Structure formats: structure tokens, C-alpha cells
Chain A
Amino acid sequence: MMIEFSAFALVLALCLSFAQFGLSGLGRWKRSLTLIGAGEGAALGAFVAVAVAFAGLMHAFIVSDFSVMNVAANSHTEKPLLYKIAGTWGSHEGSMLLWCLALTGFGAAIAGLGRDLPRGLKALVVMTQGILGSVFLAYTVFASNPFLRLTEIPVEGRSLNPLLQDPALAIHPPFLYAGYVGLSVVFSFAVAALIEGRVDAAWARWVRPWTLAAWSLLTIGIMLGAFWAYYELGWGGWWFWDPVENASFMPWLVASALLHSAIVTEKRAALPGWTVFLALAAFTFSMLGAFLVRSGVLTSVHAFAVDPKRGVLLLAILGLTAGSGFALFAWRAPRLAPGGLFAPISRESALVLNNILLAAATVTVLLGTLYPLIREAMTGDAISVGPPYFNLTFLPLMGALLILLPAGPLLAWKRGDAIGVGQRLMLAAGISMACGVLALILISPRKGIASAGLAVAAWLITGTLSELVTRVRLFRGSVAESWRRILAAPMGSWGMTLAHLGLGIFVLGACFETGWKVEAAETLALGQQLRVGAYELTLNKVETVEGANFDADRASLTAVRSGRVVCTPQPERRFYPAGRQTTSEVAICTIGLSHLYVVMGERRGTADAGVWLVRAYWNPLALLIFIGPLIMALGGLVSLSDRRLRLAAGRRAGAAK
């Protein structure tokens, strides 16, 4: 009964989403409080119904109900509980349900939390969320229903792809989807503003918390995905410009641009059209990602293998929703009031330049992602666009952005003092150049580009700290004054400092790891050694171990440096009988901020005298690659706690009066 009840709940959610957009739209048109209130109730009802459906599907996974096609295809009785739960969103159908849960959740949040929004604007936002909910729920109910039943029930399920049975990947999709779908609110705000014909500073302030929340969640989601790829796929990398990785990165880039352009719109009422355009584009890229992953056009470890018919439907949804949004933009944007003026040297100009670079970077990623698909569709020739393309196009753009970044927050609004900013950043520039030169001289092997990257990272970190020092007047005023300024600074400025510092830390880790990574591969018999960097690894033992739903060959190695044992990595090669799949379980020794990364390959040689292919990497400062984005996301959340951005701030302020 639970399954069918959940199936009914999903259908009810669809009907409530229809009601949501109908009631809200009609309410806005008739200027009826009764109708727009009802639309908000329908938004909440749709969320409750999808939550019931989602809980029902999760329950089916937990109790291994293989009468549900989706459970039979993606679960197994022997699977640990965490991965049974994660199986709920491990398939195309389940992940669409998660998408709908997030979508209706954000719709309900707007209905419940947006009490200080103008009624007309709020009604149109709830209406647009209702339209998006209707479209995606209709797709889920009619083309991707997770509650389809089997008449011939198998005794066992086919289990989830072993690569997906991983703690990081269990929580990666919820964060990623919350980020993707969080941008739907921003899209809805843009549509509502275009219909209302009013994009002003107040609108930008209302949009900012939603953008910040979505951006922070997306940052965590992408970081978790990269971390999973790093330790689960066993090739020692964390980003390979895989089309599916790009699909999540493009909305992040656009959301980053939007965050900055919304600040200009909020502070100066400038760039209203551009900010609205970015708001539309951010969710469009989210939907493009959903299409790329699910349409079957991509071959990737991350992609869901689904039939092209669903892909066509998703493409139609993308065309319909994004097309309508941009058509509305083309019609209404010329009527938007132009904002405040600013000089070429000003904080606004810096943010505009930031936006141009981020937008150009997004376009290069988009081209690199779509070009192979378009070419294959037109000519039948399959090509792959990999790191060389992105290194030549994306990195220079980002390099320019990173060099500009520390100067932006130091410039004044309207008209900045370039010379003054230059003087304030002189020390940071000196330190970063010294870091680059020292890296070139001291670190072996000598690498020019990596050393330059290191200088950029140092520039970002020291430049951000310079801005902080300037802001709190450290060394310029008394300690008491600096302390007072530290306490008085708005959370938004702390958030910005953390986000920029996090970016610097990420760049530092990425440059170090990419530039000075060392790798080695050897076939080892027991007792033999492999040298990687300063470490000597000895293969001591290989034993068979039994996991919850897998059998594994587990190697025990000793890593020695200067005669001292620093760690004992235990990589595994796992065999999952349910899916008859083999995976490598990497062993990572964290030494300071660096990683000694060991992968066990296949057994070779005769049955009696086995040898194993062992690959090892020394990944210097690799931990920073993952800590950096976490600090960035933390910066977003700290900004979100700024009382100026709190969703109900106006209401509380009003009540206080």
C-alpha cells in the first residue's frame, strides 16, 4: 500500500502544482489576496505530497521491495543501509524525484518565507515555481515514474553501480540538486520581475539570499563530486573536464557572476537587465546539465544511461522553459529603467569586468562541452575535447579574473582610486611575486607555469587579507579600534573575505597538486618496493577480505620516508557479485596537507607466484583543493546570515517598530 500511496502522492503533487500556478497567476491578475494565498497553500501542499512520495520510495529501497522496477534495478538485499537509502536518488527516476522534491521545497520556502515580498512579485514567483513544478512533475509521472511495478518480481535486485556506493556520493546529489534547483527560485524571480516590469535595488536584495544559498550548496555539491572522483575512480585526478563535471560547473560560474552583479544592482540599481539575464541563464544551465546527464548523449561515469526519448522530452522542457524566459526577457528588458552611472575605475566596473570574464569562461566551457556532441550529431565523427582545450581557453580567462579579484573590494563605489588601491596591494604583490620566484628556484623539478599559478594563489590570499587589514584598519589605528571594526563588520563582508580566501586556497592546492604531482606504477610481488617521490612503498601482504556486499583483495603496504614508517596504506580491489563488477578502492594517507595515494591493480602472474600492479601518487597539498571550496561555501553561508539579507528582516523590523 505504501508504494501505491506514494504513487498517488506524486500525482497529487502534480495536480497541486497546476493549482499553484493557476491560483497564483489568477490571483495576481485579479489582485486577489484569497487566490494568491491559495496558490501559496498549493505550493506547500505540493511539497508535502512530493515529500510523501520520496519517503515512500526510500522506504521501498530500505525494505528491498523488488516489485518496484526502480528498486529492482538499483538495489540489492545485501547492500548496506546507507547505500539502500542513497539508491533512492541513484537512478534516473529517483534523481528526478529528488529534483522535484527540491523544486517544490523551494516553492514552499518562497510561499512560507517570502512574507516581506511585494504581493504581486511574490504571486508571480510562486506561479513560475508552479509552472516549473508542473513541467518536471509531469515528466516524472508520465515519462520517468519511479513507482512503476513489476508483475514478475525478481528474488534479488540488480544492485546499485558499485562506484556509486560511496559515502561522498551518497550525499553529493542532494547538495548538487539543492544547488541546481535553488537557482529555479532566482529564475522565477527574474520572470516575475520582467512581468512586473521592475528590476531595482530592492529586487536584487530579495534575490541575493536565494542565489547565495544555491551557490553555496552547489559549491559543496561540486566539491563532493570532485572528491568522490578523486578517491573512487582511482586515476589520481579530481577534475578532468568531463562533460558531466562541466554541466555542474557552468551553472556555478553563472551563479558566481550573478552574485556579483546582484550586488551592483542592490547597491547602485545598475545593470538590472544583465542581472536578470544571469538569473535566467543560471537555471537554464542547471536544466542543460539535467538534459546532458539524462539524455544519453554523453558517455561518462557520472551519466545516467537512459533512452533518447526521455532526452528529447528533457530537451523540450529546456527549450520551453528557458525559451519562454528569454523571450520574455527580449520583450520586457528594454523597458527596464537604467541604473546608476559609474566611472571606469570603480567597484562597479571591477564587478562588470568580473562578470564579463565569468561569462566568457562559461561560454568556453559550454563550447568545449557541446562541440563534440554537435560535431558527432552532424558528421558522425566522435572527438573528445579534453584538458588541452580548457587549459588554453578557460585558464587564461580565470587567470585574468583572479589577478583582478583582490582589487575589486578595495575600490570605492561610483569612482575608485586606482593608485590608492595599487599602493594598498603593493605588499601583497611583492609577497606573491616572491612566492612565485622562490617556488621556481626552490621546488624541484622547476616548473614555470605552476610557479606562476602559485604566485597567483599567493596574490589572492594576501590580496584578500590586505582588504581585510584595510577594512579593520589594522596597524593604522589603535588595537581597540581594529577590534571594534572586526566586531562591527557586517557578516556579508566576512562572507566575501572567506569566499575569496577559499578561492585562493583552492588555487594554491590545484597548482601545487597539478604541477608537482609524482606518480609511479610497477608490478610488485610480495616484499618488492615502489618509489614515489620521497616515499618507498613495500608490498607486504595481500589478503582476501569479505565486505557487506563485496569480496576484496586487500593489499597492505608500508610507506617509508628517510627510514621512518609514515603510513600503512591498504588499497583494495573489490568484486561486487551482484553486478559482477570490480572496483578499485584507493588508500589515501594524509601527510600534512598532502596525500600519498595508492591504488591496487589486478593480480598478474601465475596462480602460485602472484604479482600486483600497484600505482602510487604523491599529491602535494591536495587537501587544499577540497578545503578551499568548503571555505568558499562557508563564506556564502556566513553572508547569508547577514541580517540585511535575512528573508523576514523587513517583517521583523516592521514588528519592532
Chain B
Amino acid sequence: MIALWVMAGLLSVLAAGLVLFFSARAGRTSAAADPTLSVYQRQLGELDDLAARGLMNGEEQKAAYAEAARRLLKASENVAEPWSASSNHRQIVLVIAGLAALLALVVYQVTGRPGYSDQPMATRIQTWRGSDLSQLTAPQLAAVLQRETRLRPDPEGYRFLALAESQSNNPSAAIRATRKALALAPQRADLWELLGTNLVEQANGEVQADAVAAFQRTLELDPGAVVPRFHLARALAQSGDQAGAVRGLEALQASLSPNDPRRSALDRALSEARAKPGQQGESPLGPQAGMVRGMVQGLAARLKTNPDDPQGWVRLVRSYAVLGDTKARDAALADAKLRYRAQPDVLNQLDEASRTEPMQ
């Protein structure tokens, strides 16, 4: 705090010094001639110069010269009041310079937080590192581990970082950390499993292709791993292969000990898979499909004749997405994006609409 006031005082003194220095310097200068005259004198010189260099013909020079000379004459007739440097004014300057610094101190007391210290990230991490790590929140721990792994890259450090990031509700950072760990230890099944789990978390529970690949790699390295088998079975269920999912989950159930705490989640997944028989060859929209398609075609035709309807385009893109007609959806999306390329809000709505899941 003292350092702050010392620095503030020095800056105020410097500012006041500038005011006083310039004031004193101006006071010492003599009352020079009106600079307007020198501008017109220079203009006359420039005309001579241009003529001498052949850039102005004689007639032009004559006319311009006469005009500039008239201006010079007129300017020289102006008699300006003299300027002075009085000692009274020096006192005024001193008072105003002092008042400015004083006012700054008063206003700063109202708008600033004099007692607050700086909190650069490096210092905060240093403090957290020196404290009881078990008392840190997950984001704080993640920040500490980030710094540590940057200084000493190590698969275990990255694994802990991934766990901390995951707990901080930051799955993408967890995935990055796990990938870094895997770059150092590609044969560790637990890291592949962690990657798959984080990918599932990022996809809001959906087991997508990259997660499937991670789990399959885990099973190559550790065929008995439970978590990958569980998620791979779920992946089958999500792709519509309910029978395969049930078989996988039943096999997993059989391999778990009766007291395994993971059984409850497994039982839940199994009953869900059994409750959803596979649906094939039937329109997701049922008997209303024809009517819905007719309405969408009508909307498309209307937009063709009257295309200036952003919400209509959003509806059309969403409708195609719902119907699962990806080709028509993409074509409509491309047309609409081109039309509304300068309206970010419409573009966002279009993107949002294109992401609508098809009817199951």
C-alpha cells in the first residue's frame, strides 16, 4: 500500500513538473512574429521555387504570387495584442498543478481500491501450490497441474490434470490433457479408457466414433476392462442394435461380482436396452409422414418465390433435419447462409436448426 502511494506521488510530481517546466519555458520565450506571416512568406518562396524548377508557368506564378502577396500584406496589417509572462500567473499554475494532483487522489479514493493487491496468475498458482492441495477446488487444482505439467511433462501429471479438468466441468480440457498423456504413454489402457470416458462426457453421454475407437484400443490393451465394454454396448444401443447391446451388457453383468458398485448403472442400462426394441423400415413420423413432407415442400416452394424470409429458411432447414433428409437440409442451409451471410443472428439460428436430430 505504501508503495502505491509512493508511486502515485512520484507520478503526480512528474505531471506537476511537466506543467511547471512547460510554463516556465513558455514564459522565457520572446514574443515572436505572427507565424501566419512566415506561412505566407514561405508560400511566396514556394511559388518562386516551383517556377524555378519549371513546374509553374510565368502567368500562373504571377497570379498566385499576387494573391499570396495580398494575403501577406493583409496579415502584416493585423496588430495583435502582446503576450505576457507575469509572476501572478506562475502562482496560478502552481495552484492548479497541485489541485490536479490533490483532486486525483480524492477521486481515486472513490473509484479505486487502494488496499487491493495485484493477483497475477503465476503468483496465485504459487500460493495454491504451497497450500494443502486437498483443500483446493478442482479448477484451482487444474491450474496448478497445468503449470506443473508444462514444466515437467509426465503422463501421470496429465492424468491428474484430466481428472481435475473433468471435475471442473471442462471436458474438452480433460480430453486435451489425456491426449498429451497418451502421447507420452500410448500403451496405458487406463489412459485410453479415460480418453473415451471424457469424450462421452463431452458428447453429453453419447458414445461417438472417437470414443468407440478409444474404448476399442483400451480393450486391445486390457481385454477385461469393464468401462469400455459398458460404453461399447451403449454405442450399439445408440446405433439401433438393441439385441447386440443387450448381449454385451448381459455378458458384462455376468462378469461382475455381485457386490460391484457399478452394477446399478449396468442394470439400468440393460433395462433401457431391453425396453427399446429395434425399429426398422418404418418412417419415424409414422402415418403423418406424408402430410409433414407435403408441408415442407410447400414451405420450400414458398421460399423459392418469396425468399426474403429468414425465419422461413430456419424452419425449412429444421424440417429437413427432422425428416433426416440431409441432402436437402444442406442445400437449403447453403442457400440460406449465402443469402443471410451478413446477419450473424440468422446464421446462428440456421446452424442451430441444421443440428436438429432426426426423428427416432
Asked if residues A519 and B338 are in contact (CB atoms below 8 Å), the reply is yes
Once the chains are docked, how many angstroms separate the CA of A607 from the CA of B121?
40
Find chain B residues with CB under 8 A from A65 CB. Answer: 118-121
Within 8 Å by CB of B27, from A1, A34, A605, lies A34
Q: In the complex, which residue of chain B has the Cβ closest to the Cβ of A114?
A: B35
Is B139 part of the binding interface, using a Cβ–Cβ cutoff of 8 Å? yes
Find chain A residues with CB under 8 A from B63 CB. Answer: 413-414
Asked if residues A12 and B85 are in contact (CB atoms below 8 Å), the reply is no
Which of A37-45, A358-366, A426-434 interfaces with chain B?
A37-45
Asked if residues B104 and A12 are in contact (CB atoms below 8 Å), the reply is yes
The A506-524 residues at the B interface (CB cut-off 8 A) are 519, 521, 523
Find chain B residues with CB under 8 A from A424 CB. Answer: none
Find chain A residues with CB under 8 A from B19 CB. Answer: 16, 19, 23, 38, 41-42, 45
Once the chains are docked, how many angstroms separate the CA of A10 from the CA of B209?
54
Size bracket of the A interface? 35 or more
Is B23 part of the binding interface, using a Cβ–Cβ cutoff of 8 Å? yes
Once the chains are docked, how many angstroms separate the CA of A654 from the CA of B337?
64
Find chain B residues with CB under 8 A from A48 CB. Answer: 14-15, 18
Within 8 Å by CB of B100, from A15, A200, A551, lies A15
Is B67 part of the binding interface, using a Cβ–Cβ cutoff of 8 Å? yes
Asked if residues A38 and B20 are in contact (CB atoms below 8 Å), the reply is yes
Give how many A-B residue pairs fall within 8 Å (CB-CB).
279
Within 8 Å by CB of B12, from A12, A30, A67, A485, lies A12
Once the chains are docked, how many angstroms separate the CA of A31 from the CA of B85?
9
The answer to whether A45 and B15 touch (CB under 8 A), given A32-B83, A523-B327, is yes
The A7-48 residues at the B interface (CB cut-off 8 A) are 7-9, 11-12, 14-16, 18-19, 22-23, 26-27, 30-38, 40-42, 44-46, 48
Asked if residues A63 and B83 are in contact (CB atoms below 8 Å), the reply is no
Asked if residues A11 and B111 are in contact (CB atoms below 8 Å), the reply is yes
Residue among B80, B100, B137, B140 facing the most chain A CB atoms (10 A cut-off): B100
Is A333 part of the binding interface, using a Cβ–Cβ cutoff of 8 Å? no
Residue among B63, B83, B90 facing the most chain A CB atoms (10 A cut-off): B83
Is B311 part of the binding interface, using a Cβ–Cβ cutoff of 8 Å? no
Asked if residues A44 and B18 are in contact (CB atoms below 8 Å), the reply is yes
The answer to whether A4 and B119 touch (CB under 8 A), given A15-B101, A41-B19, A577-B172, is no
Residue among B11, B50, B122 facing the most chain A CB atoms (10 A cut-off): B11
Is B356 part of the binding interface, using a Cβ–Cβ cutoff of 8 Å? no
Within 8 Å by CB of A269, from B71, B84, B334, lies B71
Which of B53-61, B245-253, B263-271, B285-293 interfaces with chain A?
B53-61
Asked if residues A35 and B93 are in contact (CB atoms below 8 Å), the reply is yes
How far in angstroms is the closest Cβ of chain B from A582?
9
Within 8 Å by CB of A615, from B12, B64, B101, B334, lies B334
Is A201 part of the binding interface, using a Cβ–Cβ cutoff of 8 Å? yes
Asked if residues B83 and A119 are in contact (CB atoms below 8 Å), the reply is yes
Asked if residues B15 and A16 are in contact (CB atoms below 8 Å), the reply is yes
Find chain B residues with CB under 8 A from A301 CB. Answer: 344
Find chain A residues with CB under 8 A from B43 CB. Answer: 201
Q: In the complex, which residue of chain B has the Cβ closest to the Cβ of A203?
A: B36
Is B39 part of the binding interface, using a Cβ–Cβ cutoff of 8 Å? yes
The A538-555 residues at the B interface (CB cut-off 8 A) are 546, 551
The B252-267 residues at the A interface (CB cut-off 8 A) are none
The answer to whether A2 and B67 touch (CB under 8 A), given A16-B15, A141-B107, A551-B176, is no
Asked if residues A7 and B111 are in contact (CB atoms below 8 Å), the reply is yes
Asked if residues B84 and A33 are in contact (CB atoms below 8 Å), the reply is yes
Asked if residues A118 and B342 are in contact (CB atoms below 8 Å), the reply is no
How far in angstroms is the closest Cβ of chain A from B135?
14
The B82-96 residues at the A interface (CB cut-off 8 A) are 82-86, 89-90, 92-93, 96
Q: Which 4 A-B pairs have the closest CB atoms?
A: A37-B26, A41-B22, A235-B341, A607-B209
Q: Which residues on B are within 8 Å of A, measured CB to CB?
A: 3-4, 7-8, 11-12, 14-16, 18-27, 29, 34-36, 38-40, 42-43, 46, 50, 53-55, 60, 63-64, 67-68, 71, 75, 80-86, 89-90, 92-93, 96-97, 99-101, 103-105, 107-108, 111-114, 116-122, 124, 137, 139-140, 142-143, 146, 170, 172-173, 175-176, 179, 208-209, 212, 326-327, 330, 333-334, 337-338, 341-345, 351, 354-355
In the complex, 25 of the A-B residue pairs with CB atoms within 8 angstroms, ordered by the A residue number, are A4-B112, A4-B114, A5-B11, A12-B101, A12-B108, A18-B103, A19-B96, A34-B26, A34-B89, A35-B23, A44-B18, A45-B14, A48-B15, A48-B18, A63-B118, A111-B22, A119-B83, A153-B119, A202-B39, A340-B67, A485-B55, A577-B176, A604-B326, A613-B330, A650-B42
